[in-house]
Structure 1
Amino acid sequence: MTEEFIQFERTGTVGKISARGEVDLSNSPQLRKTILGALRVDEHIIVDLSQVSYIDSSGIAALVEGLQMANKKDKTFSLQSPSEQVMSILELARLDTVFSIE
């Protein structure tokens, strides 16, 4: 796990989390922590998945938990530009209809 795995930037009340590489059991807790931390402060969370080459069930679980928390707090949560590999997993799990995808 390197520092470059996740980047976070804030513009006003929008928090943007950019992940890169593989999201798996070794680093999905970091993604989860970043998402939940951003939801404490920001009104809208965007998770950029354009540079993610692989995501496993633990990574998907972190995204689902973020969406659930955002819904509970009446905040917005969206995925941005999922890579082809990530999009195919989202479609397979039928999560492409659950998440707002930009």
Structure 2
Amino acid sequence: MKYTVDKKEQYVVFTPLEEKLDSALSPKLKSELLTVHAEGYQNLVIDMSQVKYVDSSGLSALLVGNREFSREGGIFVISGAQEHVIKLIKISMLDKVFNLVETLEEAAEAIFMHEIENGNSEEEEES
């Protein structure tokens, strides 16, 4: 599986450089997402702009990533998903589960807002 990883201060941008995320690639995608999480990153943006097709195993890999990054208060954002991928996510009713944004700028804003909200809730718990 070809991909790039761009590590920022608050998050990682993971970009699959594949047209299909199917049963042939999803185990590798799961493994790479778990590796990034194990490196200590709390927030991940997956840039889906190159991906034209996702099947159920691809969605499963995305769900694993979403669960892992959300488990400890982080956020998993899907950016730039193409129309076919969005349709499948909506048909699967996962648009209620995933954080979907159109651009990497919106993804950065979503992470920034998430960090602020988490920071505020931790301060409220302490007082």
Letter in 2 for 1:18: T
Residue 51 of structure 1 is matched in structure 2 by: 50
SS at match of 2:48: strand
Deviation at 1:96, TM superposition (A): 1.0
SS at match of 1:50: coil
Q: Report the count of equivalent residues.
A: 99
Residue 92 of structure 1 is matched in structure 2 by: 91
Percent of aligned positions with the same letter in both sequences?
Answer: 25
Name structure 1 gaps, 5 residues minimum.
none
Q: Which is strand-richer, 1 or 2?
A: 1
In structure 2, distance between residues paired with 1:27 and 1:17: 15
Pairwise mapping of residues 19-58 of structure 1 onto structure 2 (< 5 A)?
Answer: 19=16, 20-40=18-38, 41-58=40-57
Structure 1 segments (4+ residues) deviating >4 Å: none
The answer on 1:7 being equivalent to 2:10 is no
SS at match of 1:51: coil
Q: How large is the Cα RMSD of the aligned pairs?
A: 1.2
Deviation at 1:15, TM superposition (A): 0.8
In structure 1, distance between residues paired with 2:55 and 2:33: 17
